[in-house]
Amino acid sequence: MKPAAANSPTSAAMTTTKQPPPEKPEAVRLRTKIVLSFWAVILLLGFPTWWQTTSIYRADLPLQDMLNWAEGLNTPTSIPLHIWVSAPNLPCPDAQRIVRETQQALDDLNEYPTLHQRLYLVNWWSTGKDNKEEKGTPSTSCGENPSSPDLGDPALRVLLEPAKDGFAFELDPVIAKAVVYIPRTDANNVSKRLAENLHELFKEEQVAAALQTVALASHTQNAQAFLRSQPYDVVTRIEKQINRAYKSSSEFHLTFSLFTAGGVPSSWDVQDALSKHIQPLVQALSNTSEFDITTQIQLYSSYSPAIQPVTKEGMEGAFLQQKDLTAFVNAAEWPLAPSIGDGPTINFILYVPVQDEIPLKIDGVEGTSWLIPQWGGIQITNPPLQPDPMTGGMSLPAHLAGELLRQPFETFSSQLLSLLGVPQANQSGKLLPLQLRLDAYKRFSTLTLYLKAASSLGSLARLAQRLSNIPIQKHVAELVDDAIGNLTAAEHAFLESRWDAALIHSRIAYRDSEKAFFDKSMVGQVYFPDEHKVAVYLPLLGPIGVPLLVGLLREIKRLVVRKRGITP
Amino acid sequence: MAISLDRQTVSIYAGAALLRLLVFVAFPDLSDFLGSQVEISTPISSFKRLQEGLFLYQHGLSPYDGGVYHQAPLLLVIFEILPSALVFVALDILNAVSLHTIANNLDIPSRRFRKLDGTLIAAAYLFNPFTILSCLGKSTSIFTNTAIIQAVFNAQSGNPLRAMFSLAIGTYLSMYPGLLLPPTLLMILKNKDQPASLASLVMSYIGALAALLSTTIILTDGFWDFLSSCYGAQLTVTDLTPNVGLWWYFFIEIFDSFRDFFIGVFWLHLVGYVGGLTFRLQSQPLFVITSLLGLFAIFKPYPSIADVSLYLGFLPMYSHILPLTRYTFIAASVLLYSTLLGPAFYHLWIYAGSGNANFFYAITLVWSLGLTILVGDTLFAVLRDEWEIERPEMKGKSVRQI
Amino acid sequence: MRPSQFLWTLLSLVTVTCAAHTSNWAVLVSTSRFWFNYRHLANTLSLYRTVKRLGIPDSQILLLLPDDMACNPRNAFSGTVYSNADRRMDLYGENVEVDYRGYEVTVENFIRLLTDRWEEGVPASKRLQTDEGSNILIYMTGHGGSEFLKFQDSEEISSWDLADAFSQMREKKRYNEMLFMIDTCQANTLYRQFYTPGIIATGSSEEDESSYSHHADNDVGVAVIDRWTYYVLEFLETQVTGPTSDKTLGDLFDSYDVGKIHSNPGVRWDLFPGGEQAGRSRRVVDFFGNVQNVELQGNKSGVELLKDDLEGLKRLVRDYESFAAAQENNNTEMLDVLQRRTEPTNGKNTPPLTKQNPVGRVNTSETSQWTRRIGGATVLSGLAALWYFAPKLV
């Protein structure tokens, strides 16, 4: 702003004599006006601009609220698991007594409040759909109406039946239903045994939930105490199961890839194999997550060059070292992890080696498939050689027919379940009914997403508190509000044991909290020390600030002098 | 606009028009070449970008899609109907005629002042190489220039409403003419021929501006697209294509967190001059406008030589202060030097690859320095002239500034 | 007390409080461009070769190289990069996956990479998708000064930036343990501001001390490797021979020889849980190698079991389908439920109606063209009329 510097002095008296003539009053007034006009621009426009542009925008976050969520202060103290009991063929008082006593026994067995089983006498048998052909005899309408709003989603339906001989607890092989035969004689023992059975059924799920709580929440004395009361090997097994699985997500991409080391086989009956082995699973899991399936074939794709299979005397084919299996995937050349959408990609690779190496096996193991935790499954297949009509020799088939794919895809489907974290065979090597396991997976997912969302909020709050110069945009605050709203809704759903609703809300809460934490706008301000700021402002303060300040000081001095000149 | 049409005048105008038309017709490539020079067309005045906008507009799309076009939609309408070469030549002639009339009617209260010959002023404008180049390069700055000249012309000739309307057009086209409002008002109010009240003038300015902005709604769908693309681009300097100004290099280099702040500082710097100059040179509002135009040509976000041609169009009216200036030789040679070296260094940087951005930026700094010297020197000379009116006995003596 | 319970109490601290180490990631950064900084890229590529040799897959190595020395016109051995004058080992070779190259190597991208704050659509190969079980090796080399490291001559990253980025990673449980290595002048100042637990940091030189290059290759024409990196690599190549090596970080850091390195390397332990003692006992391959966690499926029992499941699944799917059909029948009821469900979130969740620009719909019909022209002409003539009548309005 040179004129300020140049004009005001020029307008002052200029003279060749030593004593400048007195300034005219108009000139003085004019100079005052000019100085003031510059200062008006500085004060009225400059300072607001400076304030507006150099302050970092930080939207108000409900920090305390977020921290409370992360610390679990808002988490429900107990998450019940509803079990519906129906006893159409028992007298109502008996049924009520059994339910009451079993509940008591359960409470004694198990003090951990998360996924604690709660029995309800519900009249689901008589009103149950399509049961007429099963010849249900709706004799007593004992218990609540299944559509009653107080009831949540049942984790298990139990049918109590009178029995001649001893107590029996029979699970349906597929769906979440159990039939319990109650002997008329030994009434006391019945409740206890029923409770034990139920407890056993959900114990591992509770362990998994407790492990996840310990890993993700901050106030976990309860969960830790519960875990300590459980046998060590069960806990480690379940922990391993959790670690193997992908992190819960609302969307998964399944990529099935056929990599062949040579030019053949160049096609496979993948649609057929998928619809037989994978689709049913995906459909059953579809209420927990969405699944996208993609398939690809790449010819002439060799495994990573670091791997050298060995040949053995007297045995045909080649052998992979077990230690090489981690490095088998040729990440540089195989088009994996195509980053479609938000969710993670689970890879399933079917590898056909070159003809010279067939059969390619793994040294010291029988199978040819392996699983890489949190990544996917790999299967080497050695298709039978066929006579080649062109050369007369033996060669690989050009097409992998459905029969050749059956075994690999069976492996893939079991790998898929374990990669997702669907509970596996329990201690005794027994599998629970599929429906129960899928439901357990759903509940585990819900809880995980819920805990993760809460913990993300806490992370964001602590971040916002610690890094004072990180900008926080308005939409981040909106996402946080959203996440908190959904967490609250999920919490209510938990209390009512409405797992579908809880899943939906936890999923949104998780998505929003992650989006908020990983918002790309929160990288802007890198560390900028104060001495650098001075360097930035110095050019302003020097050539512009000084003349303006001097002008202002002169004006003030003149005013002071004039006042003094008048007063005495 | 009464101009005596003697032979000299006619030949000047006809010669200038012929020269331009001849180049447009005979060397159409030259026009394209000039249109792509950064000294002539900036992101907000480039004719190429206008053609892009025009294409979108003619195909029923928003001209602001794609983020290339940053000019007012009114220009699209004009160029859709009229042939571009004629428009540019006609506007140059119109500007010259207006300057001619302004000069003829100008009377400066100074003893050095002699009655001006408008023909010479018009010739100086029409044959100024910067004017010719920016006309041939089809820089749309010429519309803004015309609006400013018309504002001055009407303010001087006692047509206050038209002056306000012209200024509103200028503001609508490229925003910065709005800063000329105070000196233009001063000019109108000093003109005793036609009494007008300050409030009504400001109101008519605002009304005209509102009317112009509202035409956008008729012409294109996206009013907010227009605002953000046309004015937002100038306010926030999003396009850092090199130009002869000082902003682009600075905002390439500045730390991101201070970008907004310095955009504010640069704009305030531009605004800051208006008040001071208007107060100081109350008696000569035209010179306030002239000096401001010079300053804008230096400190605007996207200046080009078209802005300098406007400044140099007005400056000859103050030829009487030439004896009082001290650095005209330096200013002239610095401008000449940078005019010649600028394109050369740009070529070295962009095409030959043997120089870097600093080469071109250094030359734009020199260019700005030359203009600053010119503006400062003439300001000093006018102040000295005023002072001599006040104290006639000091004429011709050297003075010392206290 | 049952034995299993006893065991549990013993191990509870280890297993629960620090999550298991499940994967390994490496971020290898060179921050300087231009031919005379050949050695910085060679440093980084040498580390890349080493971590690959020790088993970290390419998908978990993020390699940031600001320049391409292999294809530099001044490279007499084009297509290759060597870190030793004997030129035995071509570091560039056939199988190198550079994730960020050239001008992508910026401070902002590096911080984004660490904190994983990206815009949508950044491919997975460019992201550090770590979790609470990941051990991360970060190696940086370039030109630095007291508490800063230059990036490509135009930017710098400071110790504070790194510290804040790491704290954000910790906050979001993005690593289990981290080894931070830096080879630059005054390297030890770079980790001075760190404050997040779980990090072991080591650098090549103290404050006000330069780091030196090891030797030059006269045929390549420039220095090919830095001293500190050279001796670290020497240890890794000769002592850590495979992914199963038992050498510890203590051994590695003890191998520093000031006489050879010509500067004083530093190590920072205090952030690591358990301090120096615990840190020293960490194996080198805990950071430079990959955790061996492949699960072989030799026995087919799981598959056999699943076969029964598949039968069950088909039944389940039938159930679902009939349920879906039933749902369609009482659609209205479902709608109610859905509405109730979404109501609490609806307040804020409604996506803002974004204006859809009719991009792509090219409209050239005669009539609209004429209406537009007439509109334009009207506006122009209106303005002209305003211009003409303006003086008469007063």
Give the tokens for residue C387. 């211009």
B187 or A217, which is more confident: B187
Q: Say if residue B195's pLDDT is above 60.
A: yes
Together in a domain, A307 and A162: no
Identify the weakest region by mean pLDDT among A166-180, A258-272, B214-228, C251-265.
A166-180
Together in a domain, A175 and A312: no
Amino acid B290: pLDDT? 94
Amino acid A3: pLDDT? 41
- How far apart CA C287 and CA B200 sit, in angstroms, is 78
Together in a domain, A47 and A154: no
Does residue C388 belong to the interface with chain B, where contact is any CB pair within 8 Å? no
User: Does C4 sit within 8 Å of A231, measured CB to CB?
Assistant: yes
User: Domain end: A374, A393, A419, which one?
Assistant: A419
Identify the weakest region by mean pLDDT among A552-556, B94-98, B117-121.
A552-556
pLDDT truncated to tens, each residue of chain A (568 aa)?
334 444 444 444 444 445 556 667 777 777 788 888 888 887 888 888 888 777 777 888 888 888 888 887 777 777 888 888 887 777 777 778 888 888 888 888 777 777 778 888 877 665 444 444 444 444 445 777 767 777 777 888 888 877 777 777 777 777 778 888 877 766 667 778 888 888 888 888 888 888 888 877 777 777 788 888 888 888 888 888 887 788 777 788 888 999 998 888 888 988 988 888 888 888 888 878 888 888 889 898 888 777 788 888 877 888 888 877 877 877 667 877 655 666 788 889 999 988 888 888 888 777 888 888 888 888 988 888 888 777 778 888 888 888 888 888 888 888 888 888 887 765 565 667 777 888 888 888 888 888 889 888 998 998 888 887 788 888 899 999 999 999 999 888 888 888 888 888 998 999 899 889 888 888 765 666 677 777 777 777 767 777 778 888 888 888 888 777 765 4
A552 or B296, which is more confident: B296
A428 or C390, which is more confident: C390
For chain A, what is the domain count? 3
In 3D, which of B203, B287, B279 has the Cα closest to residue A41? B279
**Candidates B256, B260, B268; nearest CB to A41:** B268
- Band of residue C275 on the pLDDT scale cut at 50, 70, 90: confident
> Is residue C18 annotated as part of the catalytic site, yes or no?
no
- How far apart CA C276 and CA C106 sit, in angstroms, is 33
User: Does C53 sit within 8 Å of A306, measured CB to CB?
Assistant: yes
- How far apart CA C244 and CA B399 sit, in angstroms, is 90
Chain B, chain C: beta-carbon pairs less than 8 Å apart: 65
Does residue B190 belong to the interface with chain C, where contact is any CB pair within 8 Å? no
Identify the weakest region by mean pLDDT among A386-390, C169-173, C196-200.
A386-390
C348 or A177, which is more confident: A177
Interval C27-80: pLDDT, tens: 999 999 888 899 999 999 999 999 888 878 888 899 999 988 888 888 888 888
Residues of chain C found within 8 Å of residue A288, distances taken between Cβ atoms: none
Helical packing angle, B129-136 and B141-156, nearest 10°:
130
Kindly write down the DSSP assignment for every residue of A59-94, as one continuous string.
Answer: ----HHHHHHHHHTSSS-S-EEEEEEEE-TTS-HHH
CA A327 to chain CA mean position, Å: 27
Which residue in C18, C21, C143, C262 is the catalytic one? C143
Task: Give yes or no for a contact between C171 and C162, defined as CB atoms under 8 angstroms apart.
Answer: no
Amino acid A322: pLDDT? 80
CA B39 to chain CA mean position, Å: 14
Residue A70 forms part of a structural domain: no
Residue located via tokens 């491919």: C123
Together in a domain, A183 and A275: no
In 3D, which of B58, B95, B64, B72 has the Cα closest to residue B212? B72
At position A61, the amino acid (one-letter code) is: L
The residue among C22, C117, C309 with the most chain A CBs within 10 A of its CB, best to mutate, is: C309
| Chain C residue at shortest CA distance from A424 | C302
Together in a domain, A51 and A145: no
Measure CA of the first residue to CA of the last residue in chain A; give whole Å: 38
At position B196, the amino acid (one-letter code) is: A
Residues of chain B found within 8 Å of residue C394, distances taken between Cβ atoms: 160-161, 196
Identify the weakest region by mean pLDDT among A77-91, B271-285, C73-87, C237-251.
A77-91
Task: Give yes or no for a contact between C89 and C49, defined as CB atoms under 8 angstroms apart.
Answer: yes
Amino acid A338: pLDDT? 57
Residue located via tokens 């579908």: A500
**Candidates A11, A45, A525; nearest CB to B268:** A45
Q: Report cis status (omega within 30 of 0) of the bond before C344.
A: no
Residue A428 forms part of a structural domain: no
- Report, as an integer, the average pLDDT of C287-299: 73
The Cα-based distances of A171 to A110, A178, A425, B41, B328 in angstroms read: 21, 4, 15, 82, 104
Residues of chain A found within 8 Å of residue C121, distances taken between Cβ atoms: 339
User: Domain end: A205, A236, A267, which one?
Assistant: A205
Residue A195 forms part of a structural domain: yes
3-state SS, residue A296: strand
Quick one: which H or E segment has residue A380?
Answer: strand A376-380
Q: What percent of chain C has pLDDT over 90?
A: 27
Q: Say if residue C95's pLDDT is above 90.
A: no
A536 or B364, which is more confident: B364
- How far apart CA B110 and CA B386 sit, in angstroms, is 7
Task: Give yes or no for a contact between B383 and A11, defined as CB atoms under 8 angstroms apart.
Answer: yes
Structural domain of residue A259, as residue ranges? 250-419
- How far apart CA A113 and CA A109 sit, in angstroms, is 12
Residues of chain A found within 8 Å of residue B263, distances taken between Cβ atoms: 53
User: Domain end: A419, A443, A470, which one?
Assistant: A419
Rg (CA), chain B: 21
User: Does C341 sit within 8 Å of A504, measured CB to CB?
Assistant: yes
Which CATH code is given to the segment(s) C20-288?
3.40.50.1460
Quick one: which H or E segment has residue A162?
Answer: strand A154-163
Interval B129-172: pLDDT, tens: 999 999 999 999 999 999 999 999 999 888 888 999 999 999 99
- How far apart CA B16 and CA B10 sit, in angstroms, is 10
CA B103 to chain CA mean position, Å: 18
Q: With a CB-CB cutoff of 8 Å, which residues 264-323 of chain A face chain C?
A: 277, 280-281, 283-284, 304-306, 322-323
- Band of residue B394 on the pLDDT scale cut at 50, 70, 90: low
Quick one: which H or E segment has residue A394?
Answer: strand A394-395
Task: Give yes or no for a contact between B305 and A28, defined as CB atoms under 8 angstroms apart.
Answer: no
- How far apart CA A483 and CA A489 sit, in angstroms, is 10
At position A15, the amino acid (one-letter code) is: T
Mean residue pLDDT across chain C: 79
User: Does C15 sit within 8 Å of A417, measured CB to CB?
Assistant: no
- How far apart CA A287 and CA A290 sit, in angstroms, is 8
> Is residue C143 annotated as part of the catalytic site, yes or no?
yes
Domain regions of chain C by residue span:
20-288
Give the tokens for residue B267. 């704009």
The residue among A277, A326, A432 with the most chain C CBs within 10 A of its CB, best to mutate, is: A326
A405 CA: distance to closest CA in chain C (Å): 14
- Band of residue C17 on the pLDDT scale cut at 50, 70, 90: very low
Mean residue pLDDT across chain B: 89
Cβ-count burial B269-298 (b if 16+ within 10 Å, e if not): bbebbbbbbbbbbeebbbbbbbbbbbbbbb
User: Does B60 sit within 8 Å of C376, measured CB to CB?
Assistant: no
State how beta strands A394-395 and A386-387 pair.
Answer: antiparallel
In 3D, which of C126, C84, C113, C105 has the Cα closest to residue C33? C105
- How far apart CA C195 and CA C169 sit, in angstroms, is 12
- How far apart CA C156 and CA C148 sit, in angstroms, is 6
Together in a domain, A50 and A84: no
Give the tokens for residue A323. 């230690």
Together in a domain, A104 and A169: yes
CATH value at residue A176:
3.40.50
Task: Give yes or no for a contact between B169 and C384, defined as CB atoms under 8 angstroms apart.
Answer: no
DSSP, res A456: H
B219 CA: distance to closest CA in chain C (Å): 7
Length of chain C: 394
Task: Give yes or no for a contact between A304 and A327, defined as CB atoms under 8 angstroms apart.
Answer: yes
Residue A286 forms part of a structural domain: yes
If one counts every other C-beta atom within 10 angstroms of the C-beta of residue C257, the result is 10
SS (H, E, C) chain C: CCHHHHHHHHHHHHHHHCCCCCEEEEEEEECCCCHHHHHHHHHHHHHHHHHHHCCCCHHHEEEEECCCCCCCCCCCCCCCCCCCCCCCCCCCCCCCCCCEEHHHCCHHHHHHHHHCCCCCCCCHHHCCCCCCCEEEEEEEECCEECCEEEECCCEEEEHHHHHHHHHHHHHCCCCCEEEEEEECCCHHHHHCCCCCCCEEEEECCCCCCCCCEEEEECCCCEEEEEHHHHHHHHHHHHCCCCCCCCCEHHHHHHCCCHHHHCCCCEEECCCCCCHHHHHHCCECHHHHCCCCCCEECCCCHHHHHHHHHHHHHHHHHHHHHHHHHHHHHCHHHHHHHHHHHHHHHHHHHCCCCCCCCCCCCCCCCHHHHHHHHHHHHHHHHHHHHHHHHHHHHC
Amino acid C337: pLDDT? 42
The residue among C171, C175, C190, C192 with the most chain A CBs within 10 A of its CB, best to mutate, is: C171
Residues of chain A found within 8 Å of residue B372, distances taken between Cβ atoms: 2
φ and ψ of A54, to 5 deg: -100, -10
User: Does B58 sit within 8 Å of C369, measured CB to CB?
Assistant: yes
Residues of chain C found within 8 Å of residue B161, distances taken between Cβ atoms: 390-391, 393-394
Together in a domain, A255 and A343: yes
DSSP, res A116: E
- How far apart CA A264 and CA A267 sit, in angstroms, is 8
Residue A64 forms part of a structural domain: no
The Cα-based distances of C383 to A515, B75, B93, B222, C390 in angstroms read: 51, 13, 21, 21, 10
Together in a domain, A376 and A268: yes
At position C338, the amino acid (one-letter code) is: L
User: Does B162 sit within 8 Å of C391, measured CB to CB?
Assistant: yes
Amino acid A233: pLDDT? 80
The Cα-based distances of A229 to A186, B45, B233, B286 in angstroms read: 30, 78, 67, 93
The Cα-based distances of B372 to A6, B93, B296, B362, C393 in angstroms read: 13, 28, 11, 15, 41
Together in a domain, A49 and A117: no
Q: What percent of chain B has pLDDT over 70?
A: 96
3-state SS, residue A10: helix
